[in-house]
A and B are shown apart, each in its own frame.
Chain A
Amino acid sequence: MKVRIGFEIHEQLATRTKLFCTSPADYRDAEPNTNVCEICLGMPGAKPMGVNAEAVEGAVAIALMLNCEIVQEPVYILRKHYDYPDLPSGYQRTSMPIGRNGELAGVGIWEVHLEEDPGKYDPVTGKVDYNRSGVPLVEIVTAPDITSPEEARAFMRELVKVLQYSRRVRREGGTMRVDVNVSIEDGARVEIKNINSIRGLYRALKFEITRQKNLRRRGKAVRRETRAYIEEQMITRSMRTKETAEDYRYIPDPDLPPLRITPELVERIRRELPEAPHQKLARFVEQYRISRDDAWAITSEPEMADAFEQVCTQVEPARAAAFFRHIIKKTLNYHNLSFAESGIHVEDIVQVLRAISEGRLSQQAGELVMRRVVEGERAAEVLREMSRVDEQSLVSAVEQAIHQNPGAVEDYRMGKQEAINYLVGQVMRITKGRADAARALELLRERLS
């Protein structure tokens, strides 16, 4: 039985301000309901400001990266009416398509448009936080060209990568929401809402396809309906059927003139468009003479690819590539972090690679250093610490310094405090600078008291 799957993907755009007002779009460190003004709170009388240019440019850039045509005609902003506590005006503003007829990895992109995010509502406590209200979202609607949960997962990974590469979406993670349409063999289309991870998407599809196939096998029809994905139970549950479907009573928002996306704007954005993942991959193979597999791993994230290029200005690319693909990727996977979140600096990588090439550090120890970097330390410190002489060698170095410098020992005992600094210097000389100076001082004082 042929399965057809299509997506509606929503992701927050990384703008400084909200879509229709100047409240901050980044609400992550804000107290609840502080990141607001009368406009994004939908207070009586509040009117939207003009549409945030950054958001429009973001949507255009993403549409271009998804190979869409940018619409020439005026783009109206519609009011989509529905009743929910997180929606302060009782309607959500959503634009007509900005881009159309795109394609990514063999999947058709029907349209790309802008929307405003609602607030956050917790149905259990009834608490509403409007900090998120009015943050710009880009919505991407695909054709139902996907035929299995595995394909769906692969496509979503590719799409996420493209969005990251666009540098127009939030990188903090956890803001993506996906609605999925699934139908089997000309059966009714079922929409699944409330999916917010690729893993969730895969599981929801697995469940839903089995459910629909079972219905068909038993000779029952699949109802056209909207279902919710229940994360904890990995199932989908019916929300509403076609008969009770909501009528959003769309009208063009009378408060907003339609957007006109000029060919000049599109051209400027096209010129400044960042490299797409596949373009970067090809360039890395060509420019750095590394394998496709290495390049694939390194370009899985734009921030990692950037770091790689910087490392290559100081380290031989082949060695850097191997380190990225095997050590860094492994460390990130272990901690379940993206490179952007990991806190790894280019400098950390360069130092570890240098230490390895100079024979001061084994490959294995290199991995250990990277792990500690991800946990919050800097490679330089870790390396210094790792190369230090152990306590026993330090004690014997102290003994040796005392033995070889009776004059300084005598001076110190006579009350000449500075003499001990000379002895610390001697310990450092004996250990070739690998001693912890503070500990050496401590040991000298003990021995000479």
Chain B
Amino acid sequence: MNREEVKEQAERVLRELAEHLGEIELEETYNVIQVEGLREDAAPEVDPEFVEAALSIAPRRDERYYVAEAGAWV
């Protein structure tokens, strides 16, 4: 399936879902259960093994740097 077909089908999907959903008059939107969200740390931590493993899978790198290009989304 090419991109255009996917896009057309996506539009159909959205139309049908929205139709099926219908209208609603409700003040509240879904709210998460509220818990205390603050975090107290003892001291900073670094896992050198993780650091090396993470860097090793970078598709492009220069020494200790990731190399990337600016671009834009779809």
Contact = CB atoms under 8 A, between A and B. Distances in A.
Chains A and B touch each other in the complex, with CB atoms below 8 Å apart: yes
Interface of A: 16-17, 22-26, 31-38, 41, 43, 49-54, 56, 74, 83-85, 121, 123, 125-130, 254, 256-260
A128 B50 contact: no
B62 A125 contact: yes
Interface string B22-42: 000000000011111111110
B65 A129 contact: yes
B35 A52 contact: no
A257 B51 contact: no
A17 B41 contact: yes
B71 interface: yes
Given A24-B44, A34-B64, A127-B67, A257 B39 contact: no
A51 B68 contact: no
Nearest to A127: B65
A37 B69 contact: no
A56 B64 contact: no
Contacts of A260: 34, 36-37
Given A56-B38, A83-B71, A23 B46 contact: yes
Contacts, number: 103
B34 A130 contact: no
Contact of A128 (B36, B39, B48, B65): B65
A32 B64 contact: yes
Contacts of B63: 32
16 contacts: A17-B41, A17-B43, A34-B46, A35-B46, A43-B54, A52-B41, A53-B39, A54-B40, A85-B66, A85-B69, A121-B68, A127-B62, A127-B66, A128-B68, A129-B65, A257-B34
A23 B54 CA distance: 14
A38 B70 contact: no
A248 B39 CA distance: 27
B44 A84 contact: no
Contacts of B48: 34
Nearest to B35: A257
Contact of B37 (A26, A38, A257): A257
B72 interface: yes
Given A23-B44, A41-B54, A50-B39, A128 B67 contact: yes
Contact of A126 (B44, B51, B54, B67): B67
Contact of A17 (B33, B44, B69, B71): B44
Contact of B34 (A16, A127, A258): A258
A375 B35 CA distance: 52
B65 A16 contact: no
Contacts of B35: 257
B16 to A, nearest CB: 23
A259 B36 CA distance: 7
Nearest to B52: A34
A16 B51 CA distance: 19
A386 to B, nearest CB: 44
Contacts of B70: 84-85, 121, 123
A10 B71 CA distance: 25
B54 A38 contact: yes
A121 B68 CA distance: 8
B51 A36 contact: yes
A258 B65 contact: no
A33 B65 contact: yes
A83 B73 contact: yes
Nearest to A19: B39
B39 A51 contact: yes
A91 to B, nearest CB: 12
5 tightest A-B CB contacts, nearest first = A50-B39, A24-B44, A85-B68, A127-B65, A53-B38
Nearest to B71: A83
A54 B42 CA distance: 11
Contacts of A32: 63-65
B4 interface: no
A259 B38 contact: yes
Contacts of B38: 50-53, 56, 259
Contacts of A54: 40-41
A49 B55 contact: no
B48 to A, nearest CB: 8
